Structure 1
Amino acid sequence: MSTVRRQNLTERIYQQLKQSIFDFQLLPGDRFTESEIAARMQASRTPVREALSRLQREGFVEVSFRSGWQVNPLDFQQFEQLYDVRIVLEMAAVKRLCAMEPAPDLSALERIWLVAAEDRLEHGPTVCSLDERFHEQLVEACGNTEMARIHHDVTERLRIVRRIDFTKRPRIEATYVEHANILRHIIERRSDEAQWLLKSHIEDSKAEVRRITLHMIFQARHQPNNSYPPLQANS
């Protein structure tokens, strides 16, 4: 197998394994071997090992010499600490945005979030990606690259649970309403109110994510066919 082909296969295995973790097809605490994954995905162990090593660096799995690989348990205490970091960074960003001269250009966000109810998107994964970019763009608009880098790292580490917030329609609707309110207050330079709205928005999301995640894990553990389709090595 050529180097390029192996790298492409490794990327595809990595993406599929990561998606399986996100979808709770591979559950927190599940154990497996490289051979089992290679057989399921109809691939050799080398690209599987490379994909798993990448997931390990990102904190999704861990390896043991005696028992193979394991999906890391969800550490809600760590997630709550990461949410707290988000709140600190984003409130600081909002405060700076409200004071900037000239006012920051937030037109790209306005086109997405300041829309009529009938123009709102309903596809959860799409809204999840837009939500992630909403918060990142608020921080990036401040012009502090180090703050943006730290915030991006926190966002990456929270992604496994944050996406859960967009599996229910009421949460999608709430996201549109709350983002619109935050944006309007930033545009009007009402710093204190904008920061309070942002803090409440993130804290509500944090609480809802924990509740839905625990429910989804419970459901997944009681479903008989919790598996994913094989990845063809030559496709």
Structure 2
Amino acid sequence: MARRPAKTGGSIARGGVALGEAVFRSLCEALQAGNYRAGDRLREEEVAQRLKVSRTPVREALGRLAARGFVEPAGGRGLIVRNLDISEVLELYAMREIMEGAAARLAAEHASAPEVDALRDIEQAFVEAPAADAAEMARLNRSFHEAICRAARNRYLDNASRELQDWIALLGPTTFSVSGRPSSSHGEHQAIINAIAARNGDKAEQLARAHIREALRCRLKLLQKQ
């Protein structure tokens, strides 16, 4: 039976976003928070009741999850969350390393001063997040990487990076639940920001790629415990 996601226990805030998109994002956040794990069942009516929405946007959101391969048909009714094997995890992080490195390099070339300030603001919020709230750190971390992609001024890289981040949600609990990872990640983020601000594309790419390799190391540590 699927766990009851803390972040999606009531009605969802749309904030001008289409309801189907809001439900999709809510489910992705629940996956990222570890509220749904590989093999957990997602039933349309249960999700609709929990989010206090009709079944139509839930059907749309679940269809998007299925189309992307995040969930698959279960025996009987409903869908189950896919389980990525180790080879898929390694492939995912290999591609993420390439894309995050490219984004940081391009951001060093194109980022405006306000965009660099925005990165610093996001990182400050990350530092101020409650130590026990790994899910909030993961949300801010995604915002940080999305901001870098926007600053890269490449719409195709931005879109591909967002989809890759959605796949990360399938892996369950965030790596920020690993002891010491929030602190080390903050230091890595700060170094990346400084390289972007200094217009040093080579260094920004190098630091971003090393950052993702460290994230993979923590991910593998988590997977070993499951």
Question: Percent identical across equivalent pairs?
Answer: 24
Q: In structure 2, what is the equivalent of residue 155 of structure 1?
A: 165
TM-superposed CA distance for 1:34, in Å, is 7.2
Unaligned 5+ segments in structure 2 are: 1-18
Structure 2 letter corresponding to 1:120: E
Q: In structure 2, what is the equivalent of residue 87 of structure 1?
A: 97
TM-superposed CA distance for 1:159, in Å, is 2.4
Structure 1 letter corresponding to 2:157: M
Q: In structure 2, what is the equivalent of residue 181 of structure 1?
A: 191
Unaligned 5+ segments in structure 1 are: 1-8, 219-235
Structure of greater Rg? 1
Q: In structure 2, what is the equivalent of residue 131 of structure 1?
A: 141
Q: 1:72 to 1:189 in 2, by over 3 A?
A: same
Q: Hey, what's the Cα distance between the residues in 1 that align with 2:110 and 2:28?
A: 39
TM-superposed CA distance for 1:89, in Å, is 2.0
RMSD: 4.1
Q: 1:114 to 1:188 in 2, by over 3 A?
A: farther
1:1-235 matches, cutoff 5 A: 21-22=31-32, 26-30=36-40, 50=59, 52-63=62-73, 69-100=79-110, 105-113=115-123, 120-122=128-130, 123-161=133-171, 164-215=174-225, 218=226
Q: Hey, what's the Cα distance between the residues in 1 that align with 2:115 and 2:56?
A: 44
Structure 2 letter corresponding to 1:170: G
* 2:39–2:80 CA contact under 8 A, matched in 1: yes
TM-superposed CA distance for 1:68, in Å, is 6.2
Q: In structure 1, what is the equivalent of residue 9 of structure 2?
A: none
* 2:43–2:79 CA contact under 8 A, matched in 1: yes
Structure 2 letter corresponding to 1:77: S
Q: Hey, what's the Cα distance between the residues in 2 that align with 1:149 and 1:162?
A: 22
* 2:104–2:148 CA contact under 8 A, matched in 1: yes
Q: Deviations over 1:72-129 (max 9, x none)?
A: 22233223222222222222222223334976731111223269x9x63233222211
Q: Hey, what's the Cα distance between the residues in 1 that align with 2:99 and 2:177?
A: 26
* 2:84–2:170 CA contact under 8 A, matched in 1: no
Q: 1:162 to 1:183 in 2, by over 3 A?
A: farther
- SS at 2:72 equivalent: strand
* 1:165–1:208 CA contact under 8 A, matched in 2: yes
Q: 1:142 to 1:71 in 2, by over 3 A?
A: closer
Q: Deviations over 1:196-221 (max 9, x none)?
A: 21111101101211221341xx3xxx
Aligned residue pairs, count: 206
TM-score (norm 2): 0.69
